Each structure stands twice: as C-alpha cells, then as structure tokens.
Amino acid sequence: MKITLNNRDEEFEADSMTVSEMLEIRKFTFRLRIIKINGELIPRNKYATTLIHDGDNVQMLYLMSGG
Amino acid sequence: MLTDRRMNAEEIAAHLGNFRVGIAGAGGLGSNCSALLARSGIGTLVIADHDRVERSNLSRQYYFEGQTGMLKTEALKENLSRIRPETAVVIHNVFLDPTNISMLFRGCHVIVEALDSSEMKEMFIETVQTEMKGIPVVAGSGIAGWGRNETLRSRQIDETLYVCGDETTEVSGDLPPLAARVAIVAAMQANTVVEILMKMH
C-alpha cells in the first residue's frame, strides 16, 4: 500500500498495518512523537490497535525534551 | 476587518488585541514567547506553570535578579506588565494534567506548548487536540545546544498543529539549553501565533 508520510509518498508491503507496526518497520520506536492520520490525532495508547490503510495521510511530529 | 488591505503597525496591534493566547509552561520557551507576544499587542495571555524562579533559570528565561524564589507565573506577570500593561495576563499556578487543561485554557484562540519534558509535551498536545478541537497548538521541540541555525525550522502539520525547533536535539548534560537557541525557537513560536491570528477575524 501507498501512504503519505510527512508529505512524502511511502510504500509498504502490507495492505494495512497498525501504527505500532509502521513504527517498527521504519525503526521509529526510540522517541516520543505525535501522530495524526488524516488529521485525527492518535494517542499513544491506541498505536497498537489503530490501522493505517492505503491512501492515508500520516503526519508525525517528534517531541524532544527541553522548554 | 483585514486581509483585503494592508494594516499599519497600530492597526495590527489593535487586531492582535482582540485575541487570547494560552502559554503552557513559563520556562525558556514560555517566558520569552510571552514577552514577544505582549510586545506584539496580544490582548490576553493565559500562562500556566507550577515552578519557582531559580538562579540557574536566569541563563535563558525572562526573569531577573531579585525574582528568584518567586512563582514563575507571578514573576512573569510582573515583567509583562512592565513591558506592556495593556496586555491582560491571567496566571494559573498549577501542574497541568489531562483533567485541567481544557478548563484552564478555555477561550484561547491559539495555545503555545512550552513545556519541558517530552512526556508532558505529548500529554499536553494530545489533550488539546482531542478536547479542544479546532484550537491551533504551536509546539516547541528541539532547542538544545548552540549554533546550527539552519536546523531550526517551523512546520505546519495541519490547520491546528504547528511545531518549531529542530525536532532532533534532546536536552542533556552536555547539550544544555543555551539562551540564544531557546530564544530563537520561542520567537518562532510567537511569530507563528501572530501569523495564525492575522488570518483570524
């Protein structure tokens, strides 16, 4: 399937995958982030159960400590 | 009121005076951002923090010698009133959590995320985006160290979420937050708030 990830086209083998699976495939697991799918924020406790489908627009923002 | 023609400085300040902006955190990002927003003419600032001013904060935060030991919210309110008394400043001396955020920032047109830990940032952004739908959040992420001006950026995720910073550097023992880089990101956040409000009626 093809999705848009941070405004870039990205291709994945699976037809659908959970947010957790996508993070593992792309080795994105090491830091905190905000994830939105088609404009809807996905809380961290829903990463394992929320599916990403073909054509979805996925936006990620990385959260680094310091303020 | 606007968009069709250019406004002069007085008209811009008058327009910005119609709005209420929330600031979550009064540390390096929040205190510097608040000062810039007050100078820009924002009508009301709603500032939440639970810390007190420490001597080490003076290296980068908008506080002064003689204010150590004060609540940051109270010290900042005092400093903002000296910059621009026309800006109303509402302060909340609280620890933010998912149960109090939407109440404390009710009525804000834009909210600045200026918290310290990445866990707090995550909690705050998640709460505002789910409980205060439609209210733009301007987050700060990646401010540590010095130099590397070219890595600091501002990104619009969508209509209600913006992030300023490098999204890469984490504050640590050998990569502390130094004044200039913190102030750049605070200014980017303030600039983004002004940009959002200039499009609002």
- pLDDT confidence of residue B3: 55
> Closest by alpha carbon to B47, among B65, B74, B73?
B73
> Looking at the partner chain, which of A61, A64, A67 has a beta carbon nearest the beta carbon of B29?
A67
Identify which of B30, B159, B170 has the shortest CB distance to residue A66.
B170
The CATH number of the domain where B174 resides is what?
A: 3.40.50.720
pLDDT at residue B201, rounded to an integer: 86
Tell me the fold of A2-62: Ubiquitin-like (UB roll) (3.10.20)
Inter-chain CB proximity A41 and B130 less than 8 Å: yes
Residue ranges for chain B with pLDDT beneath 70: 1-5
How many structural domains comprise chain B? Answer: 1
Predicted confidence (pLDDT) per residue in B77-109, tens digit? 999 999 999 999 999 999 999 999 999 999 999
**Paired strand residues for A42:** A35
Q: What residue numbers bound the domain in which B191 lies?
A: 9-198
| B67 within domain boundaries | yes
Domain definitions of chain A by residue range: 2-62
B131 touches chain A (CB under 8 A): no
- HSE-up of B9 (CA within 13 Å, CB side)? 2
Question: Residues B14-33: pLDDT tens digits?
Answer: 999 999 999 999 999 999 99
ipTM of the complex: 0.91
Which 8-state DSSP code applies to residue B149?
Answer: G
**Are the C-beta atoms of residues B111 and B24 closer than 8 Å to each other?**
yes
Task: Indicate the pTM of the whole model.
Answer: 0.95
